[in-house]
């Protein structure tokens, strides 16, 4: 079938196919799957993928039948005999999004791909890219920025920090860590600030977010150089808060969640004696994480050498763990390992 299509490829059809992105080709398949099946697939996509796919579903509204046939090939030829789909139909797209994501998230996506469909203003932040969010909020008060970052996933918030002016980053993180609850009036003000982009529809109850853990999660996602800059600035204005955030950041014990490949990379970049010191007071789970990634012979020698170490002060153990964590963060920044299942690059 594919060979037959290629023989019938006109210059116009070739140009149309060459102009199509892989996302648009996926959108054609989604539009022909039917609402239930398409919704089931969309549930497994992340916000950026949903936004890109939803936009592509609108873009392919005027796709020629010839292009559809080429994208779908034999499977689609069979599917087209069983169902009739109006490509690019807004009602269809809305139903798929709502079935897959629920009303609130669907509204956010639909507002991005079909601007006049309406959304909850703050919810849509979860579906915007980091640079766009930063451009929108960079001129706002640090407290406003802090609240907005607290509404985002940690990785997105960390990316937004990159695009914000360096001088405001420490204060923003300080305010994130100090957040507890935000009253409806404050949320309404936030909605008003963004009313040019989003419709006003705030919650009727207090919203709880932010805090030390939120600030630590954001800092965990930042690159080492940016983290050092922010934490140094924060230490100058509130050293106690800086220490609390640091205590909640990715720790040596969290290495238990790093995959085998990452553990092996880390071991190749750390002196064995330093690792012995770090593991001396580590939990059984963390010790096993490293020992299980050694050969039987190497594991035996490592255990013997570790047991032969003289008594260590807890401060020396913690210092060894911090040195290893700094190395882990640098390896993460260079893309050689992933910390806790999140790519920090």
Q: What CATH number corresponds to the domain at position 284?
A: 1.10.220.30
Identify any residues that bridge with 224 across adjacent strands, giving them in sequence order.
none
In a domain, 343, yes or no: no
Q: What is the pLDDT of residues 243-263, one digit of tens each?
A: 888 777 777 888 988 889 999
Question: Which pLDDT score, from 0 to 100, does residue 304 have?
Answer: 93
In a domain, 287, yes or no: yes
In a domain, 162, yes or no: yes
Of 231, 247, 263, the one marking the end of a domain is 247
147 and 94, same structural domain? no
Q: Identify the helix (H) or strand (E) that includes residue 4.
A: helix 2-7
In a domain, 300, yes or no: yes
In a domain, 177, yes or no: yes
Give the closest residue to 101 by CA, choosing from 93, 313, 220: 93
In a domain, 219, yes or no: yes
- Count the alpha carbons within 13 Å of 52 in the hemisphere toward its beta carbon: 12
12 and 84, same structural domain? yes
Question: Which pLDDT score, from 0 to 100, does residue 13 have?
Answer: 80
85 and 177, same structural domain? no
In a domain, 262, yes or no: yes
What distance in Å separates the CA atoms of residue 318 and residue 316, rounded to the nearest whole number? 5
**141 φ/ψ angles, rounded to the nearest 5 degrees:** -65, 145
329 and 239, same structural domain? no
Question: Which pLDDT score, from 0 to 100, does residue 89 have?
Answer: 53
Residues of the chain with pLDDT under 50: 1-7, 74-76, 78-88, 115-120, 197-208, 341-345
Question: Which pLDDT score, from 0 to 100, does residue 186 have?
Answer: 65
- Dihedral (Cα; 17, 23, 25, 28), 10-degree rounding: -130
Q: Identify the helix (H) or strand (E) that includes residue 181.
A: strand 181-182
Of 247, 277, 305, the one marking the end of a domain is 247
User: For residue 66, what are the CA distances in angstroms to 9, 14, 83?
Assistant: 9, 10, 17
Domain hosting residue 166, numbered range? 126-247
In a domain, 341, yes or no: no
261 and 235, same structural domain? no
Identify any residues that bridge with 193 across adjacent strands, giving them in sequence order.
none
266 and 224, same structural domain? no
91 and 10, same structural domain? yes
Q: For CA atoms 89, 95, 100, 105, give the dihedral sign.
A: positive
Question: Which pLDDT score, from 0 to 100, does residue 72 have?
Answer: 63
What's the total number of domains in the chain?
A: 3
Question: Which pLDDT score, from 0 to 100, does residue 109 have?
Answer: 56
193 and 303, same structural domain? no
Of 68, 87, 118, the one marking the end of a domain is 118
158 and 68, same structural domain? no
Q: Identify the helix (H) or strand (E) that includes residue 208.
A: strand 207-208
Q: Identify the helix (H) or strand (E) that includes residue 182.
A: strand 181-182
261 and 211, same structural domain? no
145 and 106, same structural domain? no
138 and 238, same structural domain? yes
Give the closest residue to 136 by CA, choosing from 124, 118, 119, 154: 124
């Amino acid at each position: 079938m594919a060979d037959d299509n290629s023989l019938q490829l006109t210059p116009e059809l070739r140009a149309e196919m060459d102009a199509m992105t892989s996302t648009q080709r996926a959108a054609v398949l989604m539009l022909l799957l039917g609402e239930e099946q398409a919704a089931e697939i969309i549930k497994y996509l992340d916000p950026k993928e949903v936004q890109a796919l939803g936009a592509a579903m609108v873009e392919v509204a005027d796709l020629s039948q010839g292009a559809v046939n080429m994208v779908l090939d034999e499977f689609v030829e069979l599917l087209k005999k069983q169902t009739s789909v109006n490509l690019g139909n807004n009602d269809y797209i809305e139903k798929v999004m709502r079935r897959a994501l629920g009303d609130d998230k669907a509204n956010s996506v639909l507002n991005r791909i079909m601007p006049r469909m309406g959304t909850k203003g703050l919810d849509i932040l979860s579906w915007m890219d980091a640079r766009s969010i930063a451009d929108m909020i960079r001129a706002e008060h640090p407290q406003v920025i802090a609240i907005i970052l607290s509404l985002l996933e940690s990785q997105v918030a960390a990316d937004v920090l990159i695009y914000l002016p360096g001088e405001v980053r420490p204060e923003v993180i300080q305010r994130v860590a100090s957040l507890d609850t935000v009253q409806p009036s404050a949320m309404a003000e936030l909605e008003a600030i963004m009313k040019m982009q989003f419709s006003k529809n705030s919650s009727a109850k207090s919203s709880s977010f932010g805090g030390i853990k939120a600030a630590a999660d954001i800092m965990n996602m930042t690159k080492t150089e940016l983290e050092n800059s922010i934490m140094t600035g924060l230490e100058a204005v509130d050293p106690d808060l800086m220490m609390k955030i640091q205590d909640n950041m990715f720790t040596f014990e969290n290495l238990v969640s790093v995959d085998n490949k990452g553990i092996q990379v880390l071991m190749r970049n750390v002196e064995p004696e330093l690792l012995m010191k770090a593991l001396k007071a580590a939990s059984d789970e963390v010790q096993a994480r490293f020992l299980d990634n050694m050969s039987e012979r190497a594991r035996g020698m490592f255990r013997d050498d570790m047991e032969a170490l003289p008594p260590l002060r807890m401060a020396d153990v913690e210092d060894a763990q911090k040195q290893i964590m700094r190395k882990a963060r640098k390896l993460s920044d260079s893309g050689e390992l992933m910390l806790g299942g999140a790519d920090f690059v």
